[in-house]
Amino acid sequence: MKNKAFILKVALFATGLSGIVAEYILATLASYFLGDSIVQWALIISLMLFFMGVGSRITQYIKKNIFTTFIFIEFTLSLFVSFSALLAYSTAAFSIYAGVMIYFMSMVTGLLIGMELPLAVRLNESFEELRVNISSILEKDYYGSLLGGLFFAFVGLPYLGLTYSPFLLGFVNLAVAIAMLNLFPTILKTKTRIRINIVAALVLAIILTGTFNARQIIFFGEQNKYKDKVIYSAQTRYQKIVITEWRNDHWLYLNGNLQLSTYDEALYHEVLVHPAMALSKTPAQILILGGGDGCAAREILKYPGVKNITLVDLDPAMTDLAKTHPVLVEANDSALFHPKLKIINLDGYKFLEDTRQYFDLIIIDLPDPRNVELSRLYSREFYTMCRKQLRLHGVLITQAGSPYYAAESFRCILKTIEAAGFSAIPLHNQILTMGEWGWVLGVNDSIPDEQIKSELFLASFDRVETRWMNNEAMYLITSFGKDFFIDPNDSIKINKIHDPVLYRYFLKGSWDLY
């Protein structure tokens, strides 16, 4: 009896691991395809928990064949979990209903997981008394969930990615079913057990077929999503990195969002770097937050007076790629190998909290603030820390999205930087592959906007090689018309850690027009 109870608990430990990782995989898929990770994780986890309750309720109507039902639930779970990513990518390739598919899989997976525990308790009631039965079954399931979380964060997502992690979970559920089926030989008749083992072999064959073809299927789905030829795709611990190719140019995407195109990235990076360099009195010690592609560093290194560049980017896979992939190495002119540059793979917020370094210039080249996590890197608290690490008259510049497609978001960033104590002006430029784009330039000093502009107008580029930027461009990038896209009655709030309004402004933007 004790051996059978132990086997059942080991099985529950394994299904607990598989169940929690299935939730995380579906939540990650929803974030990748639908955006706004906080909302998607909340919806997916809540939806699965609700349907776990529905599954638990359904089991009260199962009065016989409990063991067989449990086995077939594991078979079904193994198939659903294994093919979750493939179904999401395939749906996205042929329709706009990837979200519907992901939510449907979440409901079915939650329903099946919810049926596991009540059935396991009923199977175990002949081996242990009620108080030990329930506590030990739940205990092993919860312990498995902890290991599942650790697996997903440190092994599954960074090493197996969304391609193979689901199949590994499918094998876990299938292994539980096969083990239970053959280690409890007296529960079923021999003929019935043989028939179910044949079904298990069929399920195994299906999962193995999916495993061997998963990469091609997911690649096909991604290829349809990006249209241009995908030449590189990788899921890191932090993000999905994709590089596409069209003719002789390349596009870099992070989590499905365009970061740069070699066709016109100079129109972005030259505005990001050169106005700030022109405004800085002594640009010797420079901090780049983000910018893992290396293109901002390339522009900074054109100035011989620069002594040190510290580049802080969260994802080591991104900076490694910028040092090894020929497309990015050519784009950044091997900037990340320069002896003046030091790479630190750390969260930018954490770096500013811990550093004792002071800088003449801080360049912030981070992804758009489309969720709460990224929004904190555009908060008043974040810019206040930046100001503390800047020397007097030091300069800060950040990319700020589009002043027209996301006018409220752009204005929010400007107001937030000013609230942190900077004198700041907006900049903008037309980038063909990204649309009208904007930046906010701030000075750690109390000076009028017109004085900042006047100093920019005096900038000379005779000794700096640029593809687009010149003195005339300084007049263009600082010139705005009236606030055409912002209602004068609207009150744009400052973005704060405890009141993250920016990501809502950003998501409310008119991106569909572009």
Which residues belong to the active site? 365
Cβ–Cβ under 8 Å, residues 49 and 28: no
Task: Find, among 19, 34, 20, the residue nearest to 103 by Cα.
Answer: 34
Tokens 């997903």, located at residue = 152
In DSSP terms, 341 is beta-bridged to 309
DSSP 8-state secondary structure symbol assigned to residue 167: H
Query: What whole-number distance in Å separates Cα of residue 167 and Cα of residue 155?
Result: 14
Q: Can you read off the two tokens belonging to residue 408?
A: 């409220």
Ramachandran assignment for 241, one of left (phi > 0), alpha (psi -120 to 50 degrees), beta (any other) = beta
User: What tokens does 222 get?
Assistant: 């991604």
Is 369 within 8 Å of 378 (Cβ atoms)?
A: yes
Residue from 366, 424, 414 nearest 390 by CA? 424
What is the rounded end-to-end Cα distance, in angstroms, of the chain?
Answer: 66
C-alpha closest to that of 228 among 263, 198, 204, 196: 263
Burial of 455 from C-beta contacts in 10 A (0-12 / 13-18 / 19+) = middle
26 contacts: CB under 8 Å, gap ≥ 6: 44, 48, 84, 102, 105, 106, 109
Residue 22 backbone dihedrals phi, psi, to 5 degrees: -60, -40
The C-alpha atoms of residue 17 and residue 22 are separated, in whole angstroms, by: 9
- Report phi then psi at 359, rounded to 5: -130, 155
